[in-house]
Structure 1
């Protein structure tokens, strides 16, 4: 038996279900990664994320080659070409089966379904594994057998299911079939590397080893205080693992296993810092389940359909000022500039800038969702869409429409001394900690683009006038 393993957002050797199973039941293994230009353009994928993926592919290709596994890099223009490309490679390599780790957004699901149909018609066995979640979609249901729309209820059932699922995973790569080491041909990869991005090397070194080193450091230091430090952007209080989870150089199971080890095996008791971080892993699972159970969110639709009545503004000039960090609201501008400079944004600030865009500027949340995906190194459709719809009060378990973060209050609370603002908005570096959050007129820095109090009131009134359907409240 010879198996072709198709790598996607699972760029690692350890705890890789598709690869591990191939190592168990195959006499030989081939590997493939496909770069689809249409996919990158239409979803979109940030250039910094592409560069991060390509650096991971270089390392992965070398690691697989050391085991005698050849990683083939294929390039296609459209998604329609993928099934034929996979089949042709499988036949060229004399593979009997194809292994993939599931991806849950609708386009990816349809793509994989088409690949499976094409391969099966040619007599190739296709096996699909769950990798991006701890509890697979379909296992979390309410008493009526329906999926949850509210996180708290989802979490209760998730905890019941998760303790019964084998989440523990090996820290090392599986034992591969004996083969002669080969050399990874990275000629195509060098072509893909045409636009280098220094932000990756500076802030996000690639690789499975780097991901595990960050996990270890976080477990050894910050996790026990995570509940106290995670909301302060000037403090190193988060794991910074999101880019590595997004490309799959570390798995959520490995993260959970490390957290449970630190917490003495406790899931929702024990260290508050640890349980708070585990809660974030459950949120990641929740949003992957949402795109599976409610595929309408993959079609640019709000989860709460009544919210599409909201008269979103289509002001491109105002939106551009938000994108470039030129709104005149210091914490918003600092956060947006952090994204532009590093390809990443602190999670608390993602909520702040998203609410500012949707609740103060009244710009369509889909504009912000798209901008984030076009810039984030950790861009993951499920998590990004879920976060934006939560902030805009259009999604599952959404923030009530009358809950609107005041960015100045958030700034004073979570960046009290203004250290984060000074780092990314140097025009205001000379101001004291009292004035930096809501500065007087400063030469070279714009005045506020909107009145926070007036715009908040207007948005709440507009939401209140929408024709809400009780059936969409969820459970």
Structure 2
């Protein structure tokens, strides 16, 4: 009797280092049915946003092409997931379903329900570790509790042995022609209005694109990583986050390739840069650790005092922030980069988040939602941790009194104004000494740069010093309410 297995792809859209696929190939099965089930309703408020959907379309397209080249094909279906798996089991005669684990709350609840249903139906089920180096329940403090601070978390795991990545298959068995598949176009992932042109030009979704991006980072950027990673005009970071989110490359592959590359190069400075990069992979691990143990944090602050924080409810300020029309160049540049490319440099993510939550005193959840819909790398764990960190209400959060001054951030990390000039071209002719605070520029300098504040570029929507003082006073009120 022939044995058949369904391999359920989710956010592991790759063939190499895919434990579920490798186990299926080595499990003595005569047929493997690779399936992706699009079921956004099952993710509630955290269904993929607009930019993520664009990325997902092209990532699935790349995976389908890879499978075709090996003699297989990707079966695309729509949810509900449990019913769809039942239909595929009936159509294919499969006796097993394999998948790789994910760790966000709604997915965990859904997967547990599906596993029980399949087990009760007599199916063989198996799930595997793929998305993280360290699964959240395998890391705890000496007191047996989850970590809330990154540094001790990372120290506790960074020296653990990481097993070698699994090889990609060279061939795969055919999928019965009678098993039907929906077209990718029918999932309606791409926008009907062509706003995603720059996203398509800036990125290459898929497993090959992920590995090309890693090699480019190792060749061009890691040797000066600590110096360049905070300078948004330079290509000083890895740009791997959207590839990691969709699982086009895994953290184990990144760590092993990094070690191989370091074996071919030498120097203490290089080791220091590599250690800093590893810690960024560690921050992603920490984000998933926190989300797993504190599943309410996408909506609620980990620091419960912030439930009573007197947010301003400034709807107009929020809209101006979203459009990159705040009159604060560094903030506007970051928000425009996000809208155009589906990405924002991390230095800018911290800057614009601080401005929204502290200078405008708009609740962090509004910023979190905007990022969710506009970032190609929007990841529930990373997005939640980042926004709560910037606000001062989450795990290992920056103290609330640490309020980024966006003008000083610009002077420090974009001293020659290259980043601002790219994304805020209205200010392109302004001298470097004025470009981060055009409202302070003398009339002669503005005229020479053909800028009329309030017409060509907005006046600041808020006074940075006054709003900082008001934010600290608001925080003082909730501190005293303890």
TM-score if structure 2 supplies the norm length? Answer: 0.90
Q: Contact 1:102–1:130 at 8 Å: present in 2 too?
A: yes
In 1, distance between residues paired with 2:179 and 2:422?
41
Report the CA distance between 1:248 and its aligned residue. 1.1
What aligned pairs does 1:93-132 form with structure 2 within 5 A after superposition? Answer: 93-132=92-131
Unaligned runs of at least 5 residues, structure 1: 471-475
In 2, distance between residues paired with 1:469 and 1:396?
21
In 1, distance between residues paired with 2:178 and 2:199?
25
In 2, distance between residues paired with 1:366 and 1:109?
22
Report the CA distance between 1:194 and its aligned residue. 5.1
Q: Decide which of 21, 30, 33 is 1:30's aligned counterpart.
A: 33
In 1, distance between residues paired with 2:341 and 2:269?
35
CA RMSD of aligned residues (A): 2.3
Report the CA distance between 1:262 and its aligned residue. 2.8
SS across alignment from 2:37 = strand
Deviations 1:178-199, CA, capped at 9 Å, x for gaps: 5489799775212235536323
What aligned pairs does 1:218-257 form with structure 2 within 5 A after superposition? Answer: 218-257=217-256
The reply to whether residue 9 of structure 1 matches residue 11 of structure 2 is yes
In 2, distance between residues paired with 1:85 and 1:96?
15
What aligned pairs does 1:362-401 form with structure 2 within 5 A after superposition? Answer: 362-401=361-400
In 2, distance between residues paired with 1:422 and 1:186?
47
> Corresponding residue for 1:473?
none
Sort the Cα spacing of 1:12 and 1:145 in 2 relative to 1 into closer, same or farther, 3 A: same
Deviations 1:66-116, CA, capped at 9 Å, x for gaps: 33333211123xxxx221221221232111111111111101111111111
In 1, distance between residues paired with 2:152 and 2:215?
31
SS across alignment from 2:332 = helix
> Corresponding residue for 2:447?
none
What aligned pairs does 1:29-428 form with structure 2 within 5 A after superposition? Answer: 29-39=32-42, 42-76=45-79, 81-160=80-159, 162-163=160-161, 165-166=162-163, 168-170=164-166, 172-174=167-169, 178-179=173-174, 188-191=183-186, 192=188, 195=191, 197-264=196-263, 271-298=271-298, 300-428=299-427
Sort the Cα spacing of 1:312 and 1:245 in 2 relative to 1 into closer, same or farther, 3 A: same
In 2, distance between residues paired with 1:153 and 1:194?
42
Deviations 1:293-335, CA, capped at 9 Å, x for gaps: 111214x111111211111122211100000001010000000
In 1, distance between residues paired with 2:341 and 2:437?
25
In 2, distance between residues paired with 1:407 and 1:396?
24
Deviations 1:166-209, CA, capped at 9 Å, x for gaps: 2x214x41355554897997752122355363233201122211
SS across alignment from 2:64 = helix
SS across alignment from 2:374 = coil
Q: Contact 1:33–1:73 at 8 Å: present in 2 too?
A: yes
**Bigger CA radius of gyration:** 2
TM-score if structure 1 supplies the norm length? Answer: 0.92
SS across alignment from 2:324 = coil
Q: Contact 1:70–1:184 at 8 Å: present in 2 too?
A: no
SS across alignment from 2:370 = helix
85-94 or 219-228, which deviates more: 85-94
SS across alignment from 1:263 = helix
Unaligned runs of at least 5 residues, structure 2: 440-451
In 2, distance between residues paired with 1:410 and 1:187?
48
In 1, distance between residues paired with 2:180 and 2:437?
55
